[in-house]
Structure 1
Amino acid sequence: MNYIIRPMEKKDIVQVTEIEKSIYSIPWSANSFIEASENDNNIYLVCIENDKVIGYCGLWTVLGEGNITNIAVTNTHRGKGYGRALLKELENRGREKAVSKYFLEVRLSNVIAQNLYLSLGYKKIGIRKNFYERPAEDAIIMSKDSILLMK
């Protein structure tokens, strides 16, 4: 794998939204990504391979807590470690912003993503009923203390 992970820039938004639309039934708009990535409290990263965005992730930080809002990798690049690399870099940058705890939601049926999060030290802490639409589905709430990052 020959890739780089760097902060999301405006020039990445077209490719990011293309990936978003290919994966999610209710995708974020280009404007949502622009606003989120330009907010100094947030961290939005892209994974670039051969000058193309192959994945991205985002984190909103509030009072020392981080909410992972997005993580996605193109279908052709899944299962190759890019999602893990993005999440680890997101956590490293979150630590620089003094994030002490991370949270995320994941579809109940998305066992592959759940296994990734569990392997990185996230714990299942609850359920959000009917969190997702199209199709309607519960979300598992997962969290991780950043102390685990310092080991």
Structure 2
Amino acid sequence: MNNVEICTLKAIHIDEISKINSLSFHTPWSKEAIYKELDNKFARYVVAIMDGKVIGYGGVWIIVDEGHITNIAVHPEYRGIGAGDMIVDSIIEICRLEDVEAVTLEVRESNIPARRLYEKHGFIAEAIRKGYYQDTKEDAIIMWNRHI
């Protein structure tokens, strides 16, 4: 797929990830919060790199036998080229390698492109968290993939 490669998140990627965050989320994580994930023993993060530039990233927390996807984002200029699929595939593979039995996430009800991405990778909407997002009070759809 083009010349996109997936690799493990390193500190040198955080400035670019911070920019992608601010372009992608209503309430982006701070740069400091992202740095803290490097020391989080439960966190596994990957970045998508194209021509030496970080174009996307994703993360999962693995706790016992469950994975919880924290964030997945692709820079707006690079959406639609398959980087999101590669990130999700990488996260699922990490979960398989660490004997995770199921992966969950929350996604804004209005974020149809993200919901379609997750559905394409076996996630199913199973519940709603009413008013989950503090900034807009929007509901979150809780999705699970129980077939890792």
* Counterpart position of 2:38: 37
TM-score normalised over the length of structure 2: 0.94
How far apart are the structure 2 equivalents of 1:112 and 1:21?
Answer: 18
* Counterpart position of 2:27: 26
TM-score normalised over the length of structure 1: 0.93
How far apart are the structure 2 equivalents of 1:115 and 1:18?
Answer: 24
* Counterpart position of 1:64: 65
* Counterpart position of 2:126: 125
Q: What letter corresponds to residue 137 of structure 1 in structure 2?
A: E
* Counterpart position of 2:109: 108
How far apart are the structure 1 equivalents of 2:13 and 2:71?
Answer: 15
Gaps of 5+ in 2: none
Identity percentage of aligned residues: 35
Q: Determine if contact 1:43/1:94 at 8 Å carries over to the other structure.
A: no
Gaps of 5+ in 1: none
Q: Deviations along 1:85-125, whole A, 9 cap, x unmatched? A: 10001110111111111000111111111111111111111
* Counterpart position of 2:90: 89
Instruction: Provide the alpha-carbon RMSD of the alignment.
Output: 1.1
Aligned length: 147
Secondary structure of 1:130's match? coil
How far apart are the structure 2 equivalents of 1:117 and 1:19?
Answer: 19
Secondary structure of 2:117's match? helix
